[in-house]
Structure 1
Amino acid sequence: MLAFQKIIPEALKRVSKIQTPYLQFKRTQVCVGHSQEKGIILGVYSDPDDVKGASFTQTALDFDKESGGKMSHALHVAGTIPKLGEYRLLLETHPGFSVVAMAGLGPECVGYNEVEDMDEEKENIRIATSVGARGLQNIGIRSIMTESMGSAESAAEGTALGVWVFQEMKEVKRQIPIPGIGLYDSCDYTGWQIGLQKASAQNLARQLSEIPSNILTPIGFAQSSVDILAKAGVSVEVKVKAWAKIMDLNAFLAAGSGSCEPPVFVELSYYGCEPDTPPLVLIGKGVTFNSGGLCLKTCEEQKDMRGDKSGAAVVVGAMRAASALNLPMNIRGIIPLTENMPGPCAVKPGDVIRSKSGKTIVVEDTDFDGRLMLADAMTYAGIYNPKAIISIGSHFGNTTTAKCWRLMWQTQATTT
């Protein structure tokens, strides 16, 4: 087990907050009383060919009747119907809620998109509830109810994503209150809970991606992974630099050779079926900060490079969600963690590195660190005999070179 060295106390203190649920949720069928801090999200369909044509969801129709037509009248006075991704706030139109957010759902009955392999109706619900929730949060609403709009799961996911704010680095007095969220019109409590779990995983990934690189170093990220996933029933193994040398992960080591922060290789294991069943392998690029190395990025390019660990963050979130949802499959997560910095030992343009696969790599640009890490990580993943490998990360440039699609095709591996 890794003996973690010099981990910033503040990092552990702040990162530990990730384990705390930020969302409160409740279930209700009837709303009574009046509160200046209570709002609700309702859906409205719009016809792209008719800017004034619109139809309410069934719950919105019922609300409009209860309000004596005030909602439909307010939208008519506004002149335009909210499109997908837009919303309108209606004040004092219903006795049970001080604010009603009418969120645009786009056209009705859009169905499944075969090209994008996506249920557009559910995606539209996520978008509508997300923008509606953010609109209510921005005006200080503390309790947000949402109708299901046909999918309680998608409504929960969108609402929870909408109210999330990264503010762990702010003083408590400057933080924006996170409102409680609840389902209004549906009995699909199971779907609501699944949606909350999905949103929680995505928000965890967003949070890990946003934490500054001086706090979430490779070692700090590994420690956070242990803290988060060990309690979720996911096995976490942390491998150090000496192990990587023994395993000939030379390309991975070269990517972070210029940094004073030691590289870390994290393996995650979730078992949802028989242990000998071939797993799905998730590989997350974990560059906690990417300066470009000796081929230095500009200041403008570097300012957001704390987000180069987003692939690793997604893998952590996905593993926690898989465990929470008890998915009937085996999943392995591979997270190579390092920092790409200039330094006396940094890899140089023109250097030749022998990767774990035995192939030599000529470094043309030290900013192509992701290709080096990915090459070794994908080769290492072969020990699991995976049924599929999914690479996740901010892989800029020609990633097909690193992924070797042609070589994989020649070996009759299935690629997409």
Structure 2
Amino acid sequence: MDFELKTLTLAGAAAEKCDAIVVLVGESFKPGKDPLSRLVADAMKARDLETKPGKLLQAYRSAGIAAPRVVLAGAGDGTGKRVQAAVQAAVGSLRTSGAKRLVICLPADAGDDAVRAAVAATAEASYVYVATKSKPEGRELQRVTIAVADAARYKAGFGAAKAAANGIEFARELANLPPNLATPTRLGDEAKKLAKTHGFLCEVLGPKEIGKIGMGSFLAVAQGSEQPPRFIVLQYQGAAASEPPLVLVGKGITFDSGGISIKPSQDMDEMKFDMGGAASVLGTFRAIGELKPALNVVGLIPSCENMPDGKSVKPGDIVTSLSGQTIEILNTDAEGRLILCDALTYAERFKPSAVIDIATLTGACVVALGGVRSGLFATDDGLAQSLQDAGDAALDPCWRMPLDDEYADGLKSNFADVANVAGRAGGAVNAAKFLQRFTTKYPWAHLDIAGTAWKGGAAKGSTGRPVGLLVQFLVSQLGAAPAKPARRGAKRK
């Protein structure tokens, strides 16, 4: 989809040649004398239109308006969150209209957050998955103009919003693919394509190279599958080589059966979404390729399947991680942390300014936070605050969770340095404490996206989260003064 930012009043929009116009009507709306303003004023006077977010009123072939369809949408106070709700409802109402060219008129006093929200909500509401359908119904919407009072004011934020929207769609497409297509090999190929298109450095390692490095924990998970594992390394250099990079680590389990500790059959098909962390890293790099920020960024993706087989790792097996720490595997369905720990150790070689891992890690996080906020764990207060602020700004929110040392007590093992699971209580925190053991050499944050990476039921499908958060975080780092905030909870017990 092609987005355009344009300086356009309601009078100008009324004359715009397009298939549909969406007018966001906020609480501060002041009507003019143009046809669109009169339409809004008449509707509000008749109490047929409310400014409550999501409330719609449609008109067809209105006098003085070039577009055949007009949707008036309540936008409340005009903030990003209200605009998001309004645009999602309005664009959703046009999905079957055949409209290809759309103009969205933002309130005159709209802020940068409203522009970001309008772009993101349009992309989300118009997304259609067609990759594996024999008779796909493609997305009709092709060109969207965001009309604002002064386009120059919003130019930078609009560019970032467009890049984020493209990255989110890229992540959604990958995660929505069936697991027989979205294999570890396919993820490696997609990374290579991104690298070729945008000039990234890319290395994709197979089983022999992974074993030679010493990633015993990662390989233990992969050994039960016929699909060979892949370790993907993407590098973008937008700053001087001497500048330490930010490292993004994405969990890439392309299908999770649970292994020998097999999952119940109900909803197991949704375990194709267990590579949501990997998809989000690739989606973020898609956005980076468009934005070209003055930063150095590394993406690390350990990818494999977790399957039951005669060669599969068993409960009670002990493996040696890349860090040299031994791990007693008590539950083979706690596999994400086993592949991530080796990637987190590998990240040390880049001497990073910070490392953020993204993983559909625990059902316990879903219980704690549902599908609204991703779980955030961090050893660095400044990093945690930056991520939380970025999530709020991108309307892709997270919530900081604790890392008290006592949560690691359940991970003690009589036979290895650490066990891969503790008890059920505090499961999301226990998993984070396991990962923390492998992150003592840099500031670290962990995003548990088990509740936010996809939706089930009638709306089943990937959300592309937290690409929006990650892109906003990277943008926020541009020009930021290097700082070393106080770290907490960094010692390994």
The partner residue of 2:66 within 96, 103, 121 is 96
1:311 and 1:393 in contact (8 A); partners too:
yes
Within-5 A mapping of 1:219-298: 219-298=185-264
TM-score, length basis structure 1: 0.80
2:28 and 2:77 in contact (8 A); partners too:
no
The answer on 1:382 being equivalent to 2:348 is yes
* 1:187-244 deviation digits (Å, cap 9, x = unpaired): 4263434322111111111111101110111001110121133211221111111111
The partner residue of 1:161 within 124, 140, 146 is 124
Q: Which amino acid in structure 2 is aligned with residue 42 of structure 1?
A: V
The answer on 1:136 being equivalent to 2:103 is no
Structure 1 CA distance for aligned equivalents of residues 176 and 87 of structure 2: 23
1:413–1:193 distance in 2 versus 1, CA, 3 Å: closer
The partner residue of 1:72 within 44, 47, 52 is 44
The answer on 1:402 being equivalent to 2:368 is no
Partner residue, 2:405: none
The answer on 1:207 being equivalent to 2:177 is no
The answer on 1:371 being equivalent to 2:352 is no
Partner residue, 2:417: none
Q: Secondary structure at the match of 2:220?
A: helix
Within-5 A mapping of 1:323-338: 323-338=289-304
1:129 and 1:158 in contact (8 A); partners too:
yes
The answer on 1:180 being equivalent to 2:143 is yes
Number of aligned pairs?
Answer: 369
Q: Which amino acid in structure 2 is aligned with residue 90 of structure 1?
A: Q
1:106–1:353 distance in 2 versus 1, CA, 3 Å: farther
Structure 1 CA distance for aligned equivalents of residues 220 and 31 of structure 2: 58
The partner residue of 1:43 within 12, 21, 24 is 24
1:34–1:355 distance in 2 versus 1, CA, 3 Å: closer
Within-5 A mapping of 1:22-41: 22-23=1-2, 25=4, 27=6, 29=8, 30-31=12-13, 38-41=19-22
The offset of 1:246, in angstroms, is 1.0
Q: Which amino acid in structure 2 is aligned with residue 96 of structure 1?
A: A
Partner residue, 2:75: 105
Q: Which amino acid in structure 1 is aligned with residue 25 of structure 2?
A: V
Structure 2 CA distance for aligned equivalents of residues 44 and 395 of structure 1: 41
Q: Secondary structure at the match of 2:48?
A: helix
Structure 2 CA distance for aligned equivalents of residues 267 and 320 of structure 1: 14
Structure 2 CA distance for aligned equivalents of residues 60 and 305 of structure 1: 53
Structure 2 CA distance for aligned equivalents of residues 28 and 154 of structure 1: 18
Structure 2 CA distance for aligned equivalents of residues 87 and 350 of structure 1: 56
Which runs of no fewer than 5 residues in structure 2 stay unpaired?
363-426, 444-485
1:44–1:34 distance in 2 versus 1, CA, 3 Å: closer
Q: Secondary structure at the match of 2:22?
A: strand
Identity %: 27
The offset of 1:395, in angstroms, is 1.0
Structure 2 CA distance for aligned equivalents of residues 409 and 281 of structure 1: 13
More displaced, 226-235 or 370-379? 226-235
Partner residue, 2:448: none
Q: Secondary structure at the match of 2:21?
A: strand
1:314–1:213 distance in 2 versus 1, CA, 3 Å: same
2:261 and 2:332 in contact (8 A); partners too:
yes
* 1:96-121 deviation digits (Å, cap 9, x = unpaired): 3333333343445xxxxxxxxxxxx3
1:361–1:58 distance in 2 versus 1, CA, 3 Å: farther
Structure 2 CA distance for aligned equivalents of residues 405 and 127 of structure 1: 41
